[in-house]
Amino acid sequence: MKKIIAVLMLLVSLSFSKPPAPKLIVFISIDQMRSDYFDRYSSFFTGGFHRLYSKGIVFTNADLNYATSETGPGHATLGTGCYPAHSGILSNEWIDPITKRTIYCVEDSLAKQVDGNGGGFSARNLVVPAIGDWLKASSKNSKVVSVSSKDRAAILMAGKKPDYVFWYSRKNGAMMTSDYYMNTLPQWAKDFNASGWIEKNVPDAWVKSLPDSAFASLGPDNFTAEPQTNGTSAFPHPFTAGKKADQIMGTPYGDKFVIDFAISAVQGEKLGQRNMTDVLCMSLSNCDYVGHGYGPDSHEQLELLAAVDKGLGKFFDALDAAVGKDNYVVALSADHAVCPLPEYNAQFRNIPAKRYIYADDIKPKLDSLSSLLKYELNSSEDVIIKNSFINYSTAQKNGWDSLKVEQELTKGMLAIDAFVGVYFRHEMMSTAPSAKPFMQKFRNSYYAQRGEDFHYLIRENCIISSKTTGTTHGTPYSYDTHVPLIFWWNNAVSKKIAREVHSADAAPTLAKFAGFAFPKTVDGVPLKEVKR
């Protein structure tokens, strides 16, 4: 009887024991990926996307929950669990309130080249730690590696003190870094850069791989608002000999390069193959490049996504072999989504949409507004500085208090067809209720120490562009902020969850899943559905 009781007690103990922590956390961002791509194109996914979407925990209503839907803030939010208001990365670029100098989000004049490449960039502008920093605080020998085509994506996802961060050189066709992270590349990275990857893997042209029937619902391959080469935007897209290193960015081969480099990192650093948890961050950028050029409804975007699906399938197969299918967890999300081409929305969806050309439709009217304010104040000094700051002191000297100048600026801005809202510094710093739409999203984006005096909201389904082709993002509208959020591990119980969650939830969810602490000050929360 005593033996039976002992066995039962052991079984009970085992049933309530804590599952082992994953040996590898794989944190993936697909730059500019819209959540609806999974529903629209899932029938064409047979690789990595298929594994995640069909066997993972999918949050179908994930949102950024802040206004500046750009690459820098997006990757900083994913990595840190903090909105731009707390991470300090309020946009890709900002204008310093004191010097009025434009600052790039990861610029660092102190960061030098490594092995003759890179330099100039680091995480010094990030003011909070990220998931890799959280892990290393409790497990100092854990490794944190981050890779991307874009410097800001790799840097801001990784945090303040990762082991390795790499981004792509269009000039050299190689991965590079800065001495903020290392003094020389590890040998496996040198070997990869010297392997002739582009010559071995990039053909003479990017051609279609899917059957014609796959594109039947998308409209024509050649569309006027897409970038034209020799009078067409249609496939095939040829590469120029000697220029492939630059031209693969904007094609599936740019992402294939990064995926293969990530596999080399797993092998070279033995990530997930030691007695501790490691983190690998990977941001794939070419969905963004293709989306900017051709739009989310293009033949090019579907082809790109199908190729990424296959590339991630290869990547997960490599992890299964090197790390073991039971030993890693994956989270996939995006830094932002994108607005469809206005011309596509107008022609195929009957949506009132417009492209405003900045030099023709916006700048002359802003200049006129600036001149009008100077005239009304009888002032020789500008009232609007760099379309971002207000010269309150000049206005006050000439009889306008801050409320008056903001009222006049708002009236003038809203008289320009492209703009439907103006948000001032004191409003974005306030917690008081506001009737202005998207105010909380603007507040979540606003880091006061680096913030401008006002932001504006453009008309929905419209873009401001310097070109007559392509599209962009950067607004609080759902087409820019609705992103995928998926968690997968072997034997996860697949489910689709419709409640609203946020991209800031990804990092704390991974930390809780893996069993290490994260700061109480983060904006995100662990998602209760993601548990072993």
Distant-in-sequence, close-in-space partners of 460: CB < 8 Å, separation ≥ 6: 420, 475, 477
Rounded Cα distance between 286 and 301, Å, is 9
Give me the phi and psi of 130, to 5 degrees please.
-120, -175
Predicted pLDDT of residue 216 = 95
Rounded CA-CA distance 517/520 in Å is 9
* Consecutive H or E run containing 174: strand 174-176
pLDDT for position 13? 44
Q: For residues 293 and 341, what is the distance between their CA atoms, to the nearest angstrom?
A: 9
pLDDT of residue 10: 45
Whole-structure pTM value: 0.96
CB 327 within 8 A of CB 274: no
State the Cα–Cα distance between residues 130 and 507, nearest whole angstrom.
8
Nearest to 501 by CA among 64, 209, 87, 85: 64
CB-based contact 472:355 (threshold 8 Å): no
pLDDT one-digit tens code per residue, 128-143: 999 999 999 999 999 9
| Low-confidence winner among 14-28, 92-106, 179-193, 354-368 (lowest mean pLDDT) | 14-28
Mean pLDDT value across residues 46-54: 98
Strand partners, 232: 229
> Which residue has 């020998």 as its token pair?
141
Of 493, 516, 527, 485, residue with least CA distance to 22: 516
Architecture of domain 355-458: 2-Layer Sandwich (3.30)
Give me the phi and psi of 480, to 5 degrees please.
-100, -20
Question: For the segment 432-471, what is each residue's pLDDT rounded down to a tens digit?
Answer: 999 999 999 999 999 999 999 999 999 999 999 999 999 9
**CB atoms near residue 363 (< 10 Å):** 13
Q: Assess contact for 158 and 284: CB atoms under 8 A.
A: no
Q: Which CATH number fits domain 20-79+118-340+476-514: 3.40.50.150, 3.40.720.10, 3.10.150.10, 3.90.650.10?
A: 3.40.720.10
Q: Among 4-8, 230-234, 325-329, 377-381, which is the least confidently predicted range?
A: 4-8
How far, in Å, CA of 216 to CA of 194, rounded?
42
Task: Return all residues near 524 (Cβ < 8 A) that are at least 6 apart.
Answer: 81, 82, 502, 503, 504, 505, 506, 507, 508, 509
Q: In angstroms, rounded to a whole number, what is the distance separating the alpha carbons of residues 230 and 285?
A: 26
Say whether pLDDT at 8 is over 70: no
For 445-500, the three-class secondary structure string (H helix, E strand, C coil) is: HCCHHHCCCEEEEECCCCEEECCCCCCCCCCCCHHHHEEEEEEEECCCCCEEECCC
* pLDDT for the residue 460: 98
Percentage of residues in the chain having pLDDT higher than 90: 96
Q: What are phi and psi of 281, to 5 degrees?
A: -100, 135
pLDDT tens for each residue of 9-39: 544 444 445 689 999 999 999 999 999 999 9
Output the six-digit token pair for 46.
């047979």
Q: Kindly write down the DSSP assignment for every residue of 10-61, as one continuous string.
A: HHHHHHHSPPPPPSEEEEEEETT--THHHHHHGGG--SHHHHHHHHSEEEEE
Residue ranges of domains in the chain: 20-79+118-340+476-514, 355-458
Q: How far apart are CA 371 and CA 382, in angstroms?
A: 8
Residue 19's pLDDT is: 80
Residues 362-366: what's their mean pLDDT? 98
Helix (H) or strand (E) holding 419: strand 419-424
Label residue 377 by pLDDT band (50, 70, 90).
Answer: very high
Query: Would 20-79+118-340+476-514 and 355-458 be classified into the same CATH topology?
Result: no
In 3D space, the residue among 71, 67, 50, 76 whose CA is nearest the CA of residue 507 turns out to be 76
What is the β-pairing status of strands 57-63 and 495-497? Answer: parallel
Tell which residue, 139, 58, 134, has the closest CA to residue 508. Answer: 134
Angle subtended at Cα 445 by Cα 440 and Cα 450, rounded to the nearest 5 degrees = 135
pLDDT tier at 4, thresholds 50, 70, 90: low
Active site residues: 71
Report the C-alpha gap between 360 and 371 in whole angstroms: 17
pLDDT per position as a tens digit, 64-76: 999 999 999 999 9
Average pLDDT over residues 184-205: 98
Alpha helices by DSSP H, 194-324: 197-201, 244-247, 252-269, 286-294, 299-322
Work out the angle at residue 200's Cα, subtended by the Cα atoms of residues 148 and 232, and round it to the nearest 5 degrees.
75
What number is the average pLDDT over the span 479-485?
Answer: 98
Number of neighbours of residue 389 by Cβ within 10 angstroms: 17
Q: Are 125 and 105 contacting, i.e. CB atoms less than 8 angstroms apart?
A: yes
Question: What is the DSSP secondary-structure string of 139-165?
Answer: -TT--EEEEESSHHHHHHHH-SS-SEE
User: Would you state the pLDDT for residue 17?
Assistant: 58
343 pLDDT higher than 80: yes
- The alpha carbon dihedral of 269, 271, 276, 277 has a sign of positive
pLDDT at 1 over 60: no
Q: Report in angstroms the alpha-carbon separations of 407 from 369, 375, 401, 413.
A: 13, 16, 10, 10
Spell out a b/e string for 447-483, using b for 16 or more CB atoms within 10 Å of the CB, else e: beebbbbbbbbbbbbbbbbeeebbbbbbbbbebbbbb
Question: Looking at residue 532, what is its pLDDT?
Answer: 87
pLDDT tens track for 262-291: 999 999 999 999 999 999 999 999 999 999
Residue 164 pLDDT: 98
